[in-house]
Structure 1
Amino acid sequence: MKKIALCLILAGLSISLQGQQDIFQRAAIVSPEINEDGTVIFRLMGPEANEVSISGSWMSASSFQLMQKQGDSLWVHTTQVLEPGFYRYSFTIDGVRAIDPANAHVIRDVASISNVFLLEGGRADHYKVQDVPHGSVAYRWYDSPGNDKKRRLSVYTPPGYEGSTRDYPVLYLLHGIGGDEEAWLGSGRVAQIMDNLIGAGKAKPMIVVMPNGNVAQEAAPGKGSAGFVQPTFMLPNTMDGQFEQTFGDIMNFVESNYRTLGTKEGRAIAGLSMGGHHTAYISLNYPNTFNYIGLFSAALNVNPEGLPDSPVYQGLEEKLIAQKGNGYALYWIAIGEEDFPILYQGVQQHRKLLDKLGMEHTYLETAGGHTWANWRRYLTEFVPLIFIND
């Protein structure tokens, strides 16, 4: 009886090992494969699939390319030559969106999960991990009495912060609609950009604070007490003035818990899209507080019915005149020429108002639209311009 049991155990072990050996010996699919000429090959095993397509951030919005079937099960697509950059992509298999199972590197942007890859060279070298001193990233919880809850934010501290006693300037960096305190760290590659700019001597060492601009949330979806809720674009209190009114809670936490300069000359604020909207009005409603203002594809003048009835949005011209009188070192605006027309027009209207009031500003118009490719670029161009004389 013991011999029979032992034989059964050995037989089961043999079958298990054969199965594991088959897993490890199975030929691995390489996807994506980046070629020296800048083309990229994608591969997917789909023996039962009837149609497979690929969508990527190198394509225009909502476009896709059909993949070709090779043999009985392998689907393949080769891109045209791509410019260096940080790219997102996904597959669609018989109408169902899917990530690439051969690529473990994924990122969330609002509610969409996509694979990512980096094509090195040029501006994209800001986005990769290089052999330079590295800063640290922490997720911190702070009291927000104005919102009657504890809330979560992200903080980048520069290389050497922990071992020093010096005080540092602070950049408050705000995300767009549907984003959260993780957006700039993921799609925005903030930690890599800051490490590389500081390491190259192109930017002053600084603290970067990335709050959650959705005051209805404690934290990013899945990171707060609400649990694994579905990420969404529109939440209560979106762009209604509540975030701007309670922004002081964030500054109080940062300046009480980090070694900051604590002066207007030591503070900058910038944001993309909704975060650009927030930036414009925070800089107005906290007078003489920020010396550097950056609007990236800012969502200005986008509500056809006018801004919500909040004191934050009242007396725009008077507040701009006061901002001009208080003085600032840099008012920086950037947008893509192919951005949404309503946003592009809103930015131009804002610039006309600044010109009317004699407020100096720097304007950059680039190719492309409302994309992370532009916002990463804007950050790499804005950061070297701040705190340079402080």
Structure 2
Amino acid sequence: MKKSFVLLFSLVLSHLAFAQEALFNAADLKSPEINADKTVTFRFFAPKADSVFLTGDFLPTMKVKSRFGLVDVPKPALMQKDAKGVWTFTSDALAPELYSYSFTVDGLRSIDPNNPFLNRDVATVTNIFIVGGPQADYYKVNAIPHGSVTRRWYDSPGLGIDRRITIYTPPGYESSNATYPVLYLLHGAGGDEEAWIALGRTAQIMDNLIAQGKAKPMIVVMPNGNASQDAAPGEGNTGFYKPQFMAPRTMEGSYEGAFMDIVKFVEKNYRVNAKKESRAIAGLSMGGFHSMHISRFYPNTFDYVGLFSAAIMPREDATAKVYSNIDETLKVQKENGTKLYWIAIGKTDFLYQANVDFRKKLDGMGMKYEYVESEGGHIWRNWRVYLSQFVPKLFN
């Protein structure tokens, strides 16, 4: 009995000593460290690990198979271990941008314990950092007037539930009597009403564009595009659960058909210009799909439409009314007129060909649009840029 107690006590002391060593060694680390030459150094304390890899959207890419075909993903970089058990990697010089990264320690994915700044994309959590410079400065909180971000609940008779929505109001909204135009900004598959405000840096982009006089002050409405959800995972009445890429009732027409519930809520509860010329709708991927179908299903509602890396045509098994008579309703939308129909996509995006085909359709009916083709694929880096390019074109 005495020997067992001594052994147990020794094990506890050993564990405490190791934990204390890990705590104090990790506390001295700076990670990531953005160096003067724009290289970035990452550090991870793991003295017992056999390997630590860094993965991030700033690393060279490799092709891998996915449900969407071959896609580019970052190639993990092996970090180097020093005598103190600290693993280190320094990147090449990085262009101004918001970047994300994580570690893999002996095959187990890990966030950076020295960096408390995180984003969730669907069910994946990654650390983030910003390398400052022209485009990336739109993503920073600068010393300028700031708008407000609120989470509201609205009644959706079309979906039969109360739903959560994120709304940005511009600087000075609360203290003025002015009315404002509205941008309805829609997320992609796996996202929710938190996606654009967190991953897209919408509030920072809007604050900076407005402060620089590049954008009109406007309200930005960011709904949840998953018809089965009342709110983002962990924020609604279903509690905490693992987010999934395609929630039930996604892209089957219910959300698009009930979209005017959102417009009515906004126009009842906010000081807005409730006219076609003061409404814009835009979205990324699935949100671009929603924007295209909502804007043609309600063809005299939005004067500005933005499709960012948009999915285009509905699934073959989607039979909702909103997906019927696509060509005819596009023609009605064209005849009613839009001040801006804006399409943007990356050259290596898996939806590139679908967008080529859609532009041919628009060309065939003589519908005018603006087209932007960028480098890269189906990534948030592109969508933040698209937002910062699209917003200055609105409501002029």
Q: Normalized against structure 2, the TM-score is what?
A: 0.90
CA displacement 1:285-304 (0-9 Å, x = unmatched)? 1121000000000011374x
Contact conserved, 2:26 with 2:45, CA < 8 A, in 1?
A: no
1:233 aligns with 2:245: yes
Q: Does 1:143 align with 2:155?
A: yes
2:384 to 333, 354, 376: 376
Which whole-Å deviations, capped at 9, do the CAs of 1:256-286 have from their partners, x for residues lacking one? 1000100000000000000000000000011
1:354 to 345, 350, 362: 362
Counting only pairs closer than 5 Å after superposition, residues 279-290 of structure 1 correspond to structure 2 as: 279-290=291-302
Q: CA deviation at 1:27?
A: 5.5
**For the Cα contact (< 8 Å) 1:330–1:362, is it kept in 2?**
yes
Q: Which amino acid aligns with 1:70?
A: D
Q: Does the CA contact (< 8 Å) of 1:241 and 1:310 recur in 2?
A: yes
- Report the equivalent of 1:161: 173
Equivalent position of 1:11 in the other structure: none
Cα drift, residue 72 of structure 1:
3.9
Partner of 1:334: 344
Between the aligned partners of 1:23 and 1:322, the Cα distance in structure 2 is 65
Q: Which residue of structure 2 lines up, in the alignment, with residue 50 of structure 1?
A: 50
For residues 239-254 of structure 1, the aligned pairs below 5 Å read 239-254=251-266
The aligned counterpart of 2:327 is 317
Cα separation, 2, equivalents of 1:166 and 1:140: 21
Contact 2:205/2:388 (CA < 8 Å) preserved in 1?
A: yes
User: Given residue 50 of structure 1, which amino acid in structure 2 is its aligned partner?
Assistant: D
- Structure 1: how far apart are the matches of 2:142 and 2:75? 33
Q: What is the deviation of 1:71?
A: 1.1
Q: Quick check: 1:276 aligned with 2:288?
A: yes
Q: Distance in 2 between matches of 1:58 and 1:302?
A: 33
Matches of 2:58 and 2:378 in 1, distance apart? 13
Query: How much has 1:235 moved relative to structure 2?
Result: 1.2
Quote the Cα distance in structure 2 between the aligned partners of 1:329 and 1:176. 24
Aligned residues: percent identity? 56
Unmatched tracts of structure 2, length 5 or more: 1-18, 62-72
1:99 Cα deviation (Å)?
0.1
Q: Which amino acid aligns with 1:178?
A: G
How far apart are residue 145 of structure 1 and its match?
1.1
Deviation at 1:237, TM superposition (A): 1.1
- How many pairs does the alignment contain? 367
* Alpha-carbon distance in 1 for matches of 2:26, 2:53: 25
Distance 1:246 1:70, change over 3 A: same
CA deviations on 1:339-389 (whole Å, 9 max, x unpaired) are 11xx1111111100100000000000000100000000000000000001x
Residue 101 of structure 1: SS of its match in structure 2?
A: coil
In the alignment, the residues of structure 1 paired with residue 254 and residue 152 of structure 2 have an alpha-carbon distance, to the nearest angstrom, of: 21
Distance 1:26 1:67, change over 3 A: closer
* Superposed CA RMSD: 1.8
CA distance in 2, matches of 1:151, 1:368: 34
1:234 positional shift: 1.3
Structure 1 segment 1-390 matched on structure 2, within 5 A: 28-59=28-59, 60=61, 61-301=73-313, 303=315, 306=316, 308-340=318-350, 343-388=351-396
| Contact 1:170 1:209 survives alignment (8 Å) | yes
Cα pair 2:185 2:282 within 8 Å, conserved: yes
3-state DSSP class of the match of 1:92? strand
Please say if residues 56 and 90 of structure 1, whose CA atoms lie closer than 8 Å, have aligned partners that are also in contact. yes
